[in-house]
């Protein structure tokens, strides 16, 4: 049976990503690469929304991706897994850069002021434009790498470790927070800080080996009344401690508080959704079908409003936030609807296989 709670976690989390990026675009914490503060407020207290969302959204997505990888491999061969993940993840993160995402790159470098810089040669602008087009695609880049590594790990493991992890109880789940802290200290890229190989690979493997077991998910369901208040308390303490600091960079993102909050919030989300969100209706199905497109395209709408309307001061701050949110959602759904119907671009940008294109053409 399909685990609908995983589908619901995916689209809910991506919706939170869109909301996060709206506030991120106009943050007052001095994070580079965005328009930044556009209000006259001494302190933008509502920036706390970023602190609430950021520590857990990506750890949770990688955990769910690990679970989903196990479920897929239960029904498909490793070759099918490699082919599927390469088409869905690697193609959009490479071919997609030249087919479409360079547009996002142009907006990004324009926000950063590189386009108008006399010191930047044309070749440099072109390279920066293409590289900046990666944007939110860093997630699918890492997910493809982790998926390929998983194929090798499966050949070695042959389900021995996976079967042992079936017996994971609440004590081990709690102790895994120490492993999460340790993984958060290693393999972090120094400049582009979103590439946290240690933390995200561990969460992906925990999803595959541990949380793919129904028995372990049932444990999370039973202990949801513990995980929820624990994550709320950690959230409050984290926000009070680090509000005003760059939460996405060293040293904040290596602290036990940051990593502990992210881990326990992920457990609360998994347990809570398995317990209360394992259902499907027309709305959840609609959101799930368009979830990938929302993730791929949402930042273009947000950043375009920021560049062409908010940054020049053509609209008031409230309108900038609202229009960015509308553009993020509506623009993404519109682009997804259009590009998913164009034969080559649906493959290059959204990873819709050519085999599926041929089936659609025969209908």
User: pLDDT 10s per residue in the chain (363 long)?
Assistant: 789 999 999 999 999 999 999 999 999 988 888 999 999 999 999 999 999 999 999 999 999 999 999 999 999 999 999 999 999 999 999 999 999 999 999 999 999 876 666 566 777 778 888 888 999 999 999 999 999 999 999 999 999 999 999 999 999 999 999 999 999 999 999 888 899 999 999 999 999 999 999 999 999 999 999 999 999 999 999 999 999 999 988 899 999 999 999 999 999 999 999 999 999 999 999 999 999 999 999 999 999 999 999 999 999 999 999 999 999 999 999 999 999 999 999 999 999 986 655 554 434
Instruction: Note the pLDDT of residue 125.
Output: 77
- Output phi, psi for 277, to 5 deg: -115, 20
- Specify the DSSP element, H or E, that contains 359: helix 354-362
CB 293, CB 334: distance < 8 Å: no
Q: What is the pLDDT of residue 363?
A: 41
Tokens representing 159 are: 């389900």
Closest CA to 3 of 57, 71, 58: 71
**What pLDDT was estimated at residue 269?**
98
Q: What pLDDT does 127 receive?
A: 86
Structure tokens at 250: 């060293």
Report how far residue 323's alpha carbon sits from residue 301's, in angstroms, rounded to the nearest whole number: 9
């Amino acid at each position: 049976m399909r685990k609908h709670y995983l589908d619901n976690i995916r689209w809910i989390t991506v919706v939170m990503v869109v909301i996060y990026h709206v506030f991120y675009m106009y943050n007052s914490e001095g994070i580079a690469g965005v328009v930044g503060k556009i209000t006259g407020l001494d302190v933008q207290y509502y920036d706390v929304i970023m602190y609430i969302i950021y520590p857990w959204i990506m750890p949770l997505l990688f955990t769910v991706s690990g679970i989903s990888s196990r479920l897929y491999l239960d029904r498909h061969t490793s070759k099918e897994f490699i082919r599927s993940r390469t088409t869905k993840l690697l193609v959009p993160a490479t071919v997609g850069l030249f087919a479409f995402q360079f547009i996002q790159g142009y907006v990004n470098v324009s926000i950063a002021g590189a386009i108008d810089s006399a010191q930047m040669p044309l070749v440099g602008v072109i390279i920066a434009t293409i590289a900046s087009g990666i944007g939110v695609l860093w997630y699918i880049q890492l997910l493809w790498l982790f998926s390929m590594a998983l194929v090798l790990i499966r050949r070695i493991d042959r389900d021995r470790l996976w079967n042992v992890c079936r017996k994971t109880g609440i004590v081990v789940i709690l102790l895994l927070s120490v492993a999460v802290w340790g993984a958060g200290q290693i393999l972090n890229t120094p400049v582009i800080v979103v590439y946290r190989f240690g933390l995200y690979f561990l969460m992906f493997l925990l999803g595959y080996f541990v949380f793919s077991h129904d028995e372990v998910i049932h444990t999370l369901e039973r202990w949801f009344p513990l995980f929820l208040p624990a994550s709320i308390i950690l959230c409050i303490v984290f926000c009070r401690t680090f509000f005003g600091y760059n939460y996405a960079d060293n040293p904040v993102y290596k602290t036990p508080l940051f990593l502990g909050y992210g881990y326990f919030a992920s457990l609360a989300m998994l347990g809570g959704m398995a317990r209360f969100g394992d259902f499907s209706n027309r709305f959840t199905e609609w959101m799930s079908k368009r979830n990938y497109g929302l993730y791929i395209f949402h930042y273009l709408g947000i950043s375009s409003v920021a560049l062409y309307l908010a940054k020049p001061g053509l609209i008031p701050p409230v309108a900038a936030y609202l229009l960015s949110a509308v553009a993020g959602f509506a623009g993404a759904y519109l682009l997804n609807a259009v590009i998913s119907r164009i034969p080559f671009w649906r493959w290059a940008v959204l990873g819709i296989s050519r085999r599926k294109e041929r089936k659609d053409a025969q209908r």
